[in-house]
Amino acid sequence: MGTHDGYHLWADAHAFYDSPLIPATTHHADLLTGQTAAWEQRLEATPNGALLRNNALFDALSGDGPLYFLHVTHALEEISEHGFLYPSGGCLVGSIYCAPLTVEGGGFRMHNLAQYVLNKEAPAFVSKVGEGRKPTPLIFEIDRPQRAYRGLAGVDYLRLGSIHLSIYNNLEYLLSHAERYTLREAVVSRVKNSTALLALAAAIAFEDARVAPGTFLKVLDEAIPRLPILGYLYFEALAEYLMLHSRTEQTQRLAQRGEFNNWLYKEALFVSFPDMAGKFDLSKFRPAPQNFDKILARIDASVDAEHARGYLRDRISYLVATRLFTPGRAPESWHRTRWEFDSLATLMGPLLGHLIHRELRTFGRYPDFYFYFDQHKALQAWNYWNHMDIIAPFNGTMPKGEVGINPAYPDLEYRIFRAAQDDAGRVHPVDQLKLTIAPRLVDIKYTLMRNNKWSVPNSTPK
């Protein structure tokens, strides 16, 4: 693989957890070296920070023997009829969304992420869909080839902005000249009208500016509708804070078995936005700043709201600088910015890529082509994973427990079983299914949950 096929972009989109937590070898290391080192220490020094390096997911991925994963579907009848299981896009790009299983008591103990999806999230979704559907757990047993990558490389979907921009540049001629002009102007306008947040985050990240946390969250709240990617950054930063700082008995019990408490961020989402079950969209993650204390108290009384606000100010500013600005570039003198697409791409290419990726879903005729945009991205991801011999990519924002199956891995050997849950909460294989994992994304029109993905021919929760 060479640079022409995006290899370097995909390498940079992965977090390598068997090297420094936030690698200092990135292009922008010269600008953010101090912050990078400080964040590595800050994260690992939190009450649950040890799980960033030592956890059950990493033990499974770096070990030997078969891999066991749980996948939940609400469409087993349709899947069985066609005989194929398709991946969907989202935080794991183009893989079958799963959570780890641990052999225990003659069956399998579910990771707490899988427990939440199977017993809370999926039933809530199915109750809306109706039609007599029910969530069905599937167990995947995957043989690990000798050549499989034993390192810990997780895809970080927050780092995909440059890839989105690159793919659009390759496929933009599916749009007319007028459509391309309109799209570019729309994206530039969104950025131009969000400089209050971007300048504030840059000042905090690059200049250590002192900004009241409440002020920052208010400006962030106002900017999210214009820059939807900020909703994703906010969600991931809050999820990270809760999982790292929670001191509840449940969190401590899960930590003893090597798991972050995934229920915390799930509850953060559905307490704030109860209608999102089945229509998951992090671009709308925008908890009202005035309700922040109440929301946090309902989720986890062991964390301090004031401390959380300060953390989120610092962390989101850092993520804006490292995920949305062009690597190696620090925006200067915002009032002198040239508000043209090509000029902005030089300074904030990843941000433009994220904005275009979302804009295209509803822009003019492009929804007809959007499937091919995501399929193109999936092909590149599969190519990189196969080059690295990665059979089970995971969500690299942090090791929550979200893991996938690479559907394009050569000679992938696996078995799929319909499962049942016993009174102790363990799952057991009931019967083997004759299903084939196919390296083709399910069409977006069948996808009911984005990023955390449900679909009809397939079904991939988060």
Indicate whether 24 belongs to any domain. no
Question: 257 and 352 in one domain?
Answer: yes
Report how many domains make up the chain: 2
Distance CA 178, CA 185 (A): 11
Q: What pLDDT shows up at residue 245?
A: 98
Q: What mean pLDDT do residues 242-260 have?
A: 98
Long-range contacts for 114-117 (Cβ within 8 Å, ≥24 apart)?
114/70, 114/72, 114/401, 115/425, 116/262, 116/263, 116/266, 117/72, 117/461, 117/462
Instruction: Give the pLDDT mean for 235-249.
Output: 97
Are 384 and 317 part of one and the same domain? no
Residue 17 lies in a domain: no
Mean pLDDT of the chain: 89
Instruction: Specify whether 261 is located in the same domain as 186.
Output: yes
pLDDT at position 333, please?
A: 79
Q: How far apart are CA 231 and CA 220, in angstroms?
A: 9
Same domain, 193 and 265: yes
Q: Are residues 340 and 392 in the same domain?
A: no
Q: State the helix-helix crossing angle for 161-171 and 367-388, rounded to 10 degrees.
A: 120
Q: What is the pLDDT of residue 131?
A: 65
Quickly state the pLDDT bin for 455 (edges 50, 70, 90).
very low
The yes-or-no verdict on residue 90 having pLDDT over 90 is no
- pLDDT by residue (tens digit) across 378-389? 999 999 999 999
Inside any domain, residue 102:
yes
Are 254 and 345 in the same domain? yes
Query: What tokens does 157 get?
Result: 């979907």
pTM (2 decimals)?
Answer: 0.92
In a domain, 109, yes or no: yes
pLDDT in tens, 19-67: 655 454 444 445 777 787 789 899 999 999 999 999 999 999 998 899 9
Q: Domain end: 299, 334, 362, which one?
A: 362
> Where does a domain end: 362, 395, 412?
362
Share above pLDDT 70 across residues of the chain, in percent, rounded to a whole number: 90
Contact present, 243 and 260 (Cβ < 8 Å) = yes
Whether residue 23 is contained in a domain is answered as no
Q: What are the pLDDT digits (tens) for 258-287?
A: 999 999 999 988 877 777 665 668 888 999
Q: For residue 306, what are the CA distances in angstroms to 128, 142, 309? A: 36, 45, 5
pLDDT in tens, 144-171: 999 999 999 999 999 999 999 999 999 9
Is pLDDT of 460 > 50? no
Residues 92 and 374 sit within 8 Å (Cβ to Cβ): no
- Whether residues 300 and 414 share a domain: the answer is no
pLDDT at position 335: 82
Cβ contacts of residue 384 below 8 Å, gap of 6+?
A: 1, 6, 7, 10, 11, 390
Q: What is the DSSP string of 188-205?
A: HHHHHTTHHHHHHHHHHH
Q: State yes or no: pLDDT of 451 exceeds 70.
A: no
Report the pLDDT value the prediction gives residue 24, as an integer from 0 to 100: 47
Q: How confident is the model at residue 458 (pLDDT cuts 50, 70, 90)?
A: very low
Q: Would residue 28 count as lying in a domain?
A: no
Question: 354 and 373: one domain?
Answer: no
Q: 187 versus 363: which is more confidently predicted?
A: 187
Q: Which of 330, 362, 394 is the last residue of a domain?
A: 362
Q: How many CB atoms lie within 10 A of CB 23?
A: 14
* Closest to 48 in 3D by CA, of 330, 229, 242: 242
**Do 184 and 313 have their domain in common?**
yes
Q: Tokens standing for 264?
A: 């915390």
Residue 441: its pLDDT value, please?
Answer: 87
Is 462 part of a structural domain of the chain? no
Sign (positive/negative) of CA torsion 372, 376, 378, 383? Answer: positive
Task: Look at residue 247 in the predicted model and tell me its pLDDT.
Answer: 97
Same domain for 384 and 357: no
At 270 the pLDDT is: 83
Domain ranges, residue 447: 56-155+369-455
- Answer whether residue 303 is part of any domain: yes
Look at strands 436-437 and 84-85 and give their pairing. Answer: parallel
Instruction: Based on the fold, state whether residues 385 and 355 are members of the same structural domain.
Output: no
Lowest-pLDDT range, 1-10, 77-86, 203-212?
1-10
Are residues 307 and 411 both part of a single domain?
no
The CA distance from 378 to 460, in Å, is 16
* 3-state secondary structure at position 316: helix
